[in-house]
Structures are given as C-alpha cells and as structure tokens.
Chain A
Amino acid sequence: MASTATAPAPQPIPPSLSLPPSQFARLQPHAYLLAHLSPPASSQQPSIRANGRSPSQFRVTSANTGSLTHTNGSAVVRLGDTTAVCGVKAEILHTEDIASWSVSHSSSSSFASNKRRKLTNPTAKLGEDRTDSGDNESHIEDFSLLVPNLSLSTGCAPGLIPGAPPSALAQSMSHQILSLLHTSRLVRAEDLQIWYERPNFGPEEPEHHNESEQMDVDVEQEGSDEASIQTGEIKAFWVLYIDIMIISLAGNPFDAAWTAVLAALRDTKLPRAWWDVDNETVVCSDIVSEARKLSLWGLPIASSFGVFEADAAAGWRSVTIQDAEEERKLAEGDRKGIQRRWVLADPDGYEEGLSQERVCLVVDKPQGGDGKVFIVKMEKNGGFAVDRKELKELVDISTRRWEDINQILKQC
C-alpha cells in the first residue's frame, strides 16, 4: 500500500544501506511515516502522509447502488482500497410470531393516524417527527427489525481466516452499526409496519387490494379523511437483514461499512404489502410503481481518525505527573513549529497499525437545520492527544466530509 506512494525525493534513508522505500516502510514503519510527516525544514516539502495524502484528507470514495439482483437494496462503497458490499434483504415478521406481542399493541388509533400523516406528508420535517413517535420507534429495537451483520471472513486481509467465527473486530463493528442504527433512528418504524385495515365501509368485498393501484390510493385517501373511525391493526413488520461483506480491507472498515449501509438503505425499496384475510398471511405486490423507498431520517455520516505520535514510546507510558509536564513541553514544542503529533483522517491499514488513539465521529446536517450540525455519535479510544480544541476541529473536518459523502450518495 505504502509503496504506491509518490515518494518525496529526500528520503531519510542512510546512504550506506540503500533500501527501496517499500522495504524501509516494512522494517521501520514508524520512522517511515514520521519522515514523511516531518520533512527536514531545509527541503521545501509539505508535511504529507506516506500515502500522499494531507493529514485531513480522506481517500477517494465512490459508491454504487442497486447492482445486486436478489436484494431489496444494495450498495458497493469503495474507500480507497477498502471495499464494502452491503445488501439489504427484507423479510416479514408476523405479529403472531412475536412472543411478546400483546393486545395492547394492536388497534390503537394513534398509530393509525400516525400512518395517515406519513402518507399525506411523506417528507416530514426532521425533529418534529423524531420526538413524538417514541413508542413506535421502540418497535425496531424491541422486535429487532434491523439485523446488521458484518463479515470480515471473505479473504479481505491475510490474517483473517475464512470460515472461522466472526472475529472480535467484526463482532464489535456489527454491534456498533446496530447501535448507531438504533440511536440515530435512521429507519422509521412506520416504514416497516404492515397494516390490516378492517373494511368498515359496509359490505365491501375484502379483496379490494387486488384492484388497480389508483383505486387503492383512493381508498387510502378516503381513509385518511376518516382516520378517526377506521381501525387499523399491525399484522406484521418488515425485518431488514443488512449484511455487509468487507471484500477488501485496507484500513478504516467502519466508515466504509457505514457508508455502504447508508447507501443501501437509501436504495432499499419495500414492496407494497397487505394482510390477506383469506390466506391469513401477508401478501406483497411485485409492481415496482407500488413499491416505496424507505424514508430515512437524516443522513448521519461517519468519519474516523487516527492519531500518529512522533514519540513512539508515548503511548506506552502510564499517566504520571511527569507525563503531564512533558505534555506541557510538547505544547511548547508545538508553538515552536515542531509538530509532535498528527491527526490523520481516514487512516489506511498501514497507519492504523501505528496509531494508538482513534476518534470516530458521526455527524448529520439536517436539511431544515439551518446548517446546524448534529453530532450523532462521538467515540474516542485511548491516548491523551486529542483534547477539546482538537475535537472541535475534527467536527469541522467531519462536517466537510459530510458534504462530500452527501454529494456522492446523491449521485449514485
């Protein structure tokens, strides 16, 4: 990976031992990266990473959706050399199969009206909806309607044995994605509900759903006017199996995986489904025009950072008072223009191995939010380098990243 860098000319390689850059990178990874980041002052080189990026620069990202035939939604996201494929497959969970499903859940008119509102106003504003349907949202978590699983055992990296149970990394990323899906409330519970409307309009034939679509819409709209007298019942839920295969791993799998999940969910189409009374089952329509896309709440976008420290031993030291003093000294050093640590955006595999401290930020910039930026998730592990000031800078970088990814996702 590092060998592909457009290596700057003045290499700090001892002349007696002329190793090619790729060899040196393997033997002395820390020194190699440090040499790139802090070129001698005499040379007019800018501080640049071994892979040719500036510290806050992300890798080239591309996304492609809808290429997998057997999925409801799919996406391939390439983040440099890291590739994630995400496929969403929807299946149906009947309420009769839910052990904890009780009478209290069913036929509450507030749900019905909720649904009506969504139908009439599909582009509901963020924020107002997010608060008032808390009970609904708990369905997703209670009945585990979103099932993300990330797999690394695809031969994506040499160390991972295919066929072995998921590694700790894969497990933790699956759970991070799950909790992020839950806490960001990305998917609306209403989108996943399958309703049964009891025909209230006299002796209407029960198979009104088999008629043309226009008829159906009419019925629905009539229903919305008379939502108060209509009793609906949730008969089933859609369950979204979100499977992420990391095909190629070259650092920062989480960003790639989450972007893939996001793109796949944006691509996901659920067929129109209804409760078929005769067969006592849920039946779907295969007509594309009747299927609807998920209306996602917001667009939380993840960006990860690694911290590279010039003093390789710094990470090993425990927190002592001497260290605090040293920190102060280092801060002075900063002022003199000698940088001692770098926050590297979107670290590749090589850089990940050299950084002890990681930061992961998930930010969102809602459409109607007047450019306000929400931090959906903030995670920082290890190290003593990144403080409040730097975190703020990272949020700014993440916001810029949000704009980029937003463009990429819009285009695909």
Chain B
Amino acid sequence: MTDRRRINGPSGGTRPPVFASSIKSTTTATERPQRQRQPNELRKIFLKTGLIPSASGSSYLEFEHSASLSAARALPKSLIPPSSSLKLACTVHGPKPLPRSATFSPNLVLTTHVKYAPFAARKRKGHIRDASERDLGVHLETALRGVIVAERWPKSGLDITITILEAEDDRWWGDAPDSHDAAWGMMNVLAGCITAASAAIADARIDCLDLVAGGVAAVVVDESVDGGEPSTPRLMLDTDPAEHRSLLSACVVAYMPARDEITELWLKGDNSKASVGTDDKSLSYETLIDGAVDAARGAHSVLAEAVRESAERLAGLETGYST
C-alpha cells in the first residue's frame, strides 16, 4: 500500500549505499572512535529557548560533537561519519482548550509526540512513526507528567512535539548489526528529549515542580589499549554508543534535583554483574542509577541557564511594552 499523500520513491525500492571499506575491514579509516572524555565527564550541551516564535514555548538542543566527529569534520577523509551528535527541536503549544469531542479532564492533558526526521539516522527513517518513536513518546510523557502542576489547567491540553534532526548511533557502524543491537542510542535521545522539553515547557511558562533533566549512564566494556582482551566493565556517564565495544547495561533517568526525585527511569541490559549475589557491588543497578542522576545534574545546570535566558528575554519584552 503506497502512501498517496507523500511523494514515494521508486516502486522497486532502493538500497542504502554499501561502502567498500566496510566490506574489507583492513583500512585504517575503520577505527573505532575513542572516548576522549573522562568517565564522569559529560558532553557539552547547547540549549536555546524561544527560537520558534509561533509556539508558546520552544527549545533547540544540540550535543557537542565527539572528538572523533569533530576531527572528521575538520579533516574529512571518509564519507562515513564516525559518530553523530544529537540535534533536536522541541515545541510546546498550549495550554489550549481541549477539542469539543474530548471528555472532561480535571487536569492539563499532555500529548507528546517524538518523530525522527527521515535523515536523522544512518538508516533512512519512514514518515510514519514506528514503534520506537511511539515508545519514546510514552517515556517522555511519563517523565513530564510528574513535573507539571497539571490541576492548574483543567479542561486544557498541552502538545509537546519533538523533531529529531540527528539521532545518536546505536552502535559503531563498523560493528556487525547484531553485535549489540539494542537501541542504546535511543536512551541518549530520550535524555535529550527530556531536557529540551523541560526547557520548552518553562519557556511556555507552564508551572512545574522543578526543572526536570535527563541523564544517561552505562556500564561499558572497551577494547583495551593494546587491542587484547576486553577490559573490565566500567561505569561511564553520557555514553556515546559508537565509542564502546559493547554496552552491558544502560540507564536513563528524568531527575528533579530540587526534590531529589526521579520521574522516569528506564534501565535495561544485562545486569548480571549487578545482581545481588556477586561481590562486585561497584556496578550494581543502584550505581548505574546514581550515575544517570549525576549526568542529569550536569544537564540541569545547562537547563537552568537556558531557562534564565528565556525569563530575561520575556522580561525584556515586557519592559519594551511599557515604555
């Protein structure tokens, strides 16, 4: 069934390009990008509010390029990007009256919508939301609903829309597609969505309990420096899945620093290292959650700065009117 409302490509279907260097993994260009940051060092976040004037609140979020990506951009050698960095735009529309057909709600009704641009990922995405995008929407909604003081807007709706322009990789491109095929990149995307949505909600002047920020931590196994046996699992904050040989488990939280509470927790992966029976307490799920919380605290400082700018802009506008 073709989509008649869009322009479809050739009916026979097209194939993504296959690169010669990915067939023969001998050239030096196919080296896994290395993490240059400390285990507890986060990537810089660019967060700006109010770029979309027609929305009641908006924000744009971008992660700093990883060292490998910025090197590849400065001196391009290969057409295959070593890794990517998250870029997304978030808009908030509302509070606005619910449609007439809707049932009565004593609270603000939140609708979240997360969509990847077709060119956001290594593999072209479809125009219709797939299961993972819907899943992200539900996660985001859970994260935000605990923060918004919803009973101040009865019978109203709030639409939060996130367009992901560039997503994080799930794995290094040179790895086999099944080596760790869980959607690890999705967790980084979710953390970014939470932070950006929080800024946009504040920009729309919706009452919140606190600014909620997203953070990711993961237990990773890296190749050791000499290329021998893999190193022991380590906890890393704000992991870029492309930079690691494998991720054992990862965790994303939506965290409110002022209340020390988590509104959304998504932890997955093999926590056998973290099970109660083993002696290695240093990598238990609790440490993982604590790590994600630390990452969220880092994102929160950026978030607070962006919201402060948003408030100053509004204050400037208001004084502009009065004079």
Contacts and interface: CB of A to CB of B under 8 A. Distances in A.
Query: Which among B19, B22, B118, B160 has the greatest number of chain A C-beta atoms within 10 A?
Result: B118
Interface in B75-131: 76-81, 84-85, 87, 89-93, 96, 113, 115, 117-122, 124, 127, 129
B9 A165 contact: no
Given A70-B121, A97-B10, A243-B119, A155 B18 contact: no
B119 A286 contact: no
B55 A149 contact: no
Contact of B79 (A147, A154, A210, A271): A271
Nearest to A147: B9
Contacts of B161: 153-155, 162
Contact of A155 (B53, B91, B96): B91
A151 interface: yes
A286 B29 contact: yes
Contacts of B17: 90-92, 271, 273, 282, 284
B54 A69 contact: no
A93 B10 contact: yes
B301 to A, nearest CB: 25
A69 B23 contact: no
Given A166-B6, A241-B119, A248 B53 contact: yes
Given A68-B119, A68-B165, A83-B52, A165 B5 contact: yes
A145 interface: yes
Interface string B5-29: 1111111111111111111000001
Interface string B133-169: 0000000000000000000000000011111011100
Contacts of B117: 85, 87, 151, 243, 245
Nearest to A246: B163
Interface string A268-301: 0101010000000111111110010000000000
Contacts of B276: none
B140 to A, nearest CB: 13
A155 B93 CA distance: 8
A144 interface: yes
Contact of A69 (B51, B69, B90, B92): B69
B127 A149 contact: yes
Contact of A148 (B7, B53, B55, B77): B7
Contacts of B124: 89, 91, 241
B9 A241 contact: yes
Contact of A250 (B22, B54, B58, B159): B54
Interface in A291-347: 291
Contacts of B14: 91-93, 97, 239
Nearest to B111: A162
Contacts of B89: 154, 247
A397 B81 CA distance: 42
Contacts of A156: 52, 54-55, 91
Contacts of A171: 5-6
Given A245-B165, A286-B79, A99 B11 contact: yes
B91 A70 contact: no
Contacts of B165: 68, 85, 87, 245
B7 A178 contact: yes
Interface residues of A, number: 67
Given A158-B55, A241-B9, A92 B19 contact: no
Contacts of A239: 9-10, 14
B18 A283 contact: yes
Nearest to A142: B10
A166 B89 CA distance: 19
B19 A283 contact: yes
A27 interface: no
Nearest to B56: A158
Nearest to B122: A70
Contacts of B10: 93, 97-98, 143-145, 239
Query: Which among B20, B51, B69, B96 has the greatest number of chain A C-beta atoms within 10 A?
Result: B20
Interface string A119-150: 00000000000000000000000011101110
A283 B8 CA distance: 24
B93 A158 contact: yes
A288 B115 contact: no
A285 B12 contact: no
Interface string A228-239: 000000000001
Interface string A68-85: 111100100000010101
Nearest to B133: A163
Query: Which among A89, A94, A99, A166 has the greatest number of chain B C-beta atoms within 10 A?
Result: A89
B7 A175 contact: yes
A291 to B, nearest CB: 6
A166 B3 CA distance: 10
A20 interface: yes
Given A157-B54, A174-B6, A241-B119, A282 B18 contact: yes
A215 interface: no
Contacts of A154: 89, 91, 115, 161, 163
A366 interface: no
Contacts of B120: 70
A283 B119 contact: no
Contacts of A162: 113, 115, 159, 161
A151 B7 contact: no
B81 A291 contact: no
14 contacts: A69-B69, A87-B165, A91-B16, A91-B17, A151-B127, A155-B55, A155-B160, A155-B162, A158-B55, A161-B159, A239-B14, A282-B18, A283-B20, A286-B80
Given A92-B16, A155-B92, A248-B52, 11 more contacts: A97-B14, A99-B12, A155-B160, A155-B161, A156-B52, A239-B10, A241-B124, A250-B53, A269-B79, A282-B17, A287-B78
Interface of B: 5-23, 29, 51-55, 58, 69, 76-81, 84-85, 87, 89-93, 96, 113, 115, 117-122, 124, 127, 129, 159-163, 165-167, 321
